[in-house]
Amino acid sequence: MERKVPSTASEEIELFLRTVYSLLRSTTDVEIRTLEEVHVAMNSLLHPNGRRQSPDTSAFIYSLLRLPDCLTQTRLVVLGQSSAVFERAGYGNVESWQSVSARARRRRCFFNGQDTLACFIASRSDIDDVLPGLTAFQVEWNKLNFLLQRTDARLLDEVRRPGDEGFARLAEAMEMSTDDLERLWVIWGDQFNDRLHEIARRRCSLRVRLLSGSLSEYWRATRMWWDPIESACPELLERPVYFISSNTHSLANLLSGYALQHETDLVEYLTGNANDRLLEEWQAIQNGRRAAARIFCTICLKNSSNLTPGAARWRIRPASSVPGGFGGLRRSTPWISKPRWSSFRGSIRRSWIRGWRRATWLFCARATP
């Protein structure tokens, strides 16, 4: 395996990718622990405190929301492109297993009810999404295991929800704020106490196996979701098609321009809420690109919707408010600069649909200060 000491953030990312794909070429299972060092070395903005002893609760929650709940029972994660690939590897009829899903990912996954999770992947970007998520999950789980091992067992038995006596002491023992512990309670609900006991009971030691496939398997996986669309809307074959691999909610921001239309109100909201960090960002881009202002307004809109009482006034307007409707987008929305339209004519084989999930983990990296 090729290894060298990285000197820039991009080299750290490349080292992670080289390590991942070198290990995945093996026909045996890959221990996630072998990826931990190169993972934390990326210093991703989504896992900035991976090296610290105290938990990075935000990174842990991010991974929890993007992985099925059964991961707490899982020991082996198997990645494959199609049912045929799984069957050839000895995992017959995985689609008859229990269907499981994550809250923030629409990836087809099946659990055998014991210790194996089968995940269908449609492109390399799926691998670039799953592996960092699994690694962050394991790193943070094991931090919590270390802390909970030193926590009074009676305290774990007593605390089941926010407001219980000892909730603040438990948060302190886990080296996190009570707000962060409450976020975990919101995710786990009635299983909150059971999950804490499970984390305290054992360390996490995940393994992953990538089943061999081919580009033709990716094509077949694409046909599975494209064929119903083509049957229902054959006219799409004669029109430009804009592919979005994930984050479909971004369409509302792209098409309506609602956040930009309320730029003044949003800046007033920031001033009134004394959000110094966002205000500094706003001042820094005042003389910069207009595109940065659009992105900034969208971020502010999300913050105001989440935090402001009576946030209903910020609801996105219906699609009908877009001048000319969606069909008139290119003619009537000059603030969109050169959208990336992909001409789709004839066979889907000519289209290469690339996911943006790699950006989520890998391109949100920065050089270590």
Ramachandran class of 43: left when φ > 0, alpha when ψ lies in -120 to 50, beta otherwise: left
N- to C-terminal Cα distance for the chain?
A: 28
The answer to whether residue 216 is domain-embedded is no
Whole-number Å distance between alpha carbons of 332 and 330? 6
pLDDT value at residue 7:
43
| Residues 16 and 111 both lie in one domain | yes
Around 89, how many Cα atoms within 13 Å sit in the side-chain half-sphere? Answer: 20
Looking at the structure, tell me whether residues 74 and 183 fall in a common domain.
yes
Residue 236 clears pLDDT 80, i.e. is over it: yes
- Domain span including residue 292: 249-341
Look up residue 10 and give its amino acid. S
Question: Tens of pLDDT along 8-53?
Answer: 456 888 888 888 888 888 878 999 999 999 999 988 878 989 999 9
* 305 is a domain residue: yes
User: Mean pLDDT over all residues of the chain?
Assistant: 76
Confirm whether 23 is domain-assigned.
yes
Domain boundary among 158, 182, 210: 210
Q: Is 265 in contact with 224 (CB distance < 8 Å)?
A: no
Residue 283 lies in a domain: yes
Phi first, then psi, for residue 8 (nearest 5°) are -135, 165
Please tell me the predicted confidence (pLDDT) of residue 362: 40
263-294 per-position pLDDT tens digit: 788 777 777 665 666 777 777 777 665 556 66
Contacts of 320 (CB under 8 A, 6+ apart): none
Number of domains forming the structure of the chain:
2
DSSP-derived letter for residue 317 is P
* Mean per-residue pLDDT, 77-84: 91
Asked if 134 and 95 count as a contact pair (C-beta separation under 8 A), the reply is no
Q: Are residues 170 and 303 in the same domain?
A: no
Each residue's pLDDT tens digit, 174-226: 999 999 999 999 999 999 999 999 999 999 999 999 997 665 676 777 787 78
- Does residue 323 surpass a pLDDT of 70? no
Residues 269, 332 within the same domain: yes
pLDDT at site 328: 39
For 20, phi and psi rounded to 5 degrees?
A: -60, -50
Of residues 13, 221, 18, 31, the one with CA closest to residue 119: 221
Residue that finishes a domain, picked among 210, 239, 270:
210
